[in-house]
Structure 1
Amino acid sequence: MKASPVEQKELLRLQAIDTKVQQLDHQAKSLAQHAEIAALNAQVHAARQAIAAQSGERDDVRTELRRIESDVDVVEKRIARDTDRLQHTSSVKDVQALETELVALRKRLGDLEEIELAVMERLEEREAAVAEAQATRDALLVQVGEGEVARDAQLVELDRLLGDLRRDREAIGSSVTPELIALYEKRRVAGHGNAAALLRARTCSGCTMTLTGSDLAVVREAPADDVVFCPDCGAILVRTEESGI
């Protein structure tokens, strides 16, 4: 392929822009906030699991407390009923039976109230544990939000820089023939981003290999408007006064 030395030099500018774009793309994907946010989100997930577990234990204790409260209510109603019957009966036999039952009921009530108090204390502990887990989750969510704000600010700046580079690339591309651009793009894909390289002191700046022997002779003998390639990396070799040939 033929291309003027001026056009070939433009490929170096194009390569510099593409390299910078590649670096900025990598930078955007490798921001420290990405890993930090991911780690925080993992902690948020763990905190939510802790909340679910603690809430389940709290709800179990609540159910237990309701059952005990129901038992207390039943016993209290039986005491009230038997006390009323005791006050209105004249039968000695009934009085003895009711008094015996009331003693048993009051003991049962006392036992239930002790259990109720212990369960209420457990419930307070479980509710405190849930509140603590929720506070941990909320604090982590605040950190996630702050990390996302910092990340987004950096991404906005990187996107601005990328926009400037893409506009510069478009301007340079318009000054080069479509055929040369197509060749450059093909080489960029094949070379994993390395498409054009300056030949400086007989060395390819793309792969740092020095041309010798027949490879150097081919490049040296090629007309200035010939497009030549590095025999090692395949990049378009751009020759200038620095090439040393």
Structure 2
Amino acid sequence: MKAESVVQRRLLELAEVDAELSRVDHKRRTLPELAEIDAAEKTLRERKDALVSVQMQHSDLDREVARQEREIESVRARADKDRKLMESGSVAAKQLTELEHELATIGRRQSALEDDLLELMEQREALELDAQRTGAEVDKAEQVLAEAASRRDEALADLDTTQARREGDRAALLPQFPEDLVKLYERVRAQKNIGAALLQSRRCGACRLEMDRNTVAEIKAAPVNEVLTCDNCGAILVRTAESGL
């Protein structure tokens, strides 16, 4: 394949544009903010799960407190009924003794229920504090996630700007090359990620390997308009005064 030396040298401009586009793509995939977002999302899920767990426990305690209060109210109503019956003076001495015994039993039952209720109320109060703390942790995790997402969006916007600019440069460069040269360049770039490189001090600028004497001699003997490629990596070798030939 033939191409004027000036055209071949212009391939280095195209290669630099493509190298920057590759760097942009790599940065887009490896932004530190992406890892931060993953970690923040995991933390947020954990905090939300913890909050749901506390809320469920609180809901269970609310039901238990309500049940306990109903039972205490039932016991109180029974005690009031017995007292009114005793105060009515319409019961016999034996029934009065039985009512007094029942009232004593009810009193002990009421005291035990009230003690249990107090313990449940203390547990609920502790859970309310836990829910407040966990809710604050959820808010903090959401803020951390939002800040990481904002930084990611800013970084992506910068990369989008660079990519758009360099893609414009690329579109302007491509028409300056023969079609067969572009096809060779693109084929090599697709395989090795570098389509063309400067031959500098007898080293390929793509794979950085130094060429042996025979190869250097062949390159020296080749016409300046001959398109040469690296035997090692396949990149198009662009010859200039820096090539050391």
TM (norm. structure 1) is 0.94
Residue 47 of structure 1 corresponds to 47
Query: Matched residues, percent identical?
Result: 31
Aligned equivalent of 2:179:
178
Q: Which range moved further: 167-176 or 41-50? A: 41-50
Mapped partners of 2:91, 2:39: distance in 1 = 78
Residues 119-162 of structure 1 show CA distances to partners (whole Å, capped at 9, x for unaligned) of 10011111211221111011110111011111101110111011
Residue identity opposite 2:244 in structure 1: G
Aligned partner of 1:71 in structure 2 is: 71
1:37 maps onto 2:37 in alignment: yes
After TM superposition, where is structure 1 displaced by more than 6 Å over at least 4 residues in a row? none
Q: Distance in 2 between matches of 1:51 and 1:18?
A: 49
* Secondary structure in structure 1 of the residue aligned to 2:198: strand
Amino acid aligned to 1:241? A
Q: Which amino acid aligns with 1:124?
A: E
Distance 2:126 2:10 in 1: 73
Total equivalences in the alignment:
244
Offset of 1:57 from its aligned partner?
2.6
Matched ranges for 1:79-118 at <5 A? 79-88=79-88, 89-118=90-119
224-233 vs 157-166, which deviates more?
Answer: 224-233
CA distance in 2 between counterparts of 1:102 and 1:218 reads 117
Q: Once the 2 structures are TM-superposed, how far is the Cα of residue 18 of structure 1 from its aligned partner?
A: 0.8
In the TM superposition, what is the alpha-carbon distance from 1:183 to its structure 2 partner?
0.8
- Aligned to 1:210, the other structure's residue is in SS state coil
Q: How does 1:14-29 map to 2 (within 5 A)?
A: 14-29=14-29
* Distance in 2 (alpha carbons) for counterparts of 1:64 and 1:134: 23
Structure-2 residue corresponding to 1:208: 208
SS of the residue corresponding to residue 62 of structure 2 reads helix
Give the aligned residue type for 2:92.
S
Partner of 2:163: 162
Deviation at 1:90, TM superposition (A): 4.0
Counterpart for residue 149 of structure 2: 148
Partners of 1:202 and 1:111 in 2: CA distance: 95
- Superposition RMSD on alpha carbons, in Å? 1.5
Question: How far is the alpha carbon of 1:219 from its aligned partner?
Answer: 1.3
Whether contact under 8 Å (2:8, 2:238) holds in the other structure is yes
Q: Do structure 1's residue 222 and structure 2's residue 242 form an aligned pair? A: no
How big is each residue's C-alpha offset from its partner over 1:190-225, in whole Å with a ceiling of 9 and x where there is no partner? 21x111011122221112222232211221111111
What runs of 5+ residues in structure 2 fail to find an aligned partner? Answer: none
Report SS of the residue matched to 1:198. Answer: strand
Residue aligned with 1:174, SS: helix
Relative to the length of structure 2, the TM-score reads 0.94
Question: Which amino acid is the alignment partner of residue 29 of structure 1?
Answer: R
Structure 1 portions without partners, runs of 5+ = none
Shift of 1:87: 2.5
Q: Distance in 1 between matches of 2:112 and 2:211?
A: 97
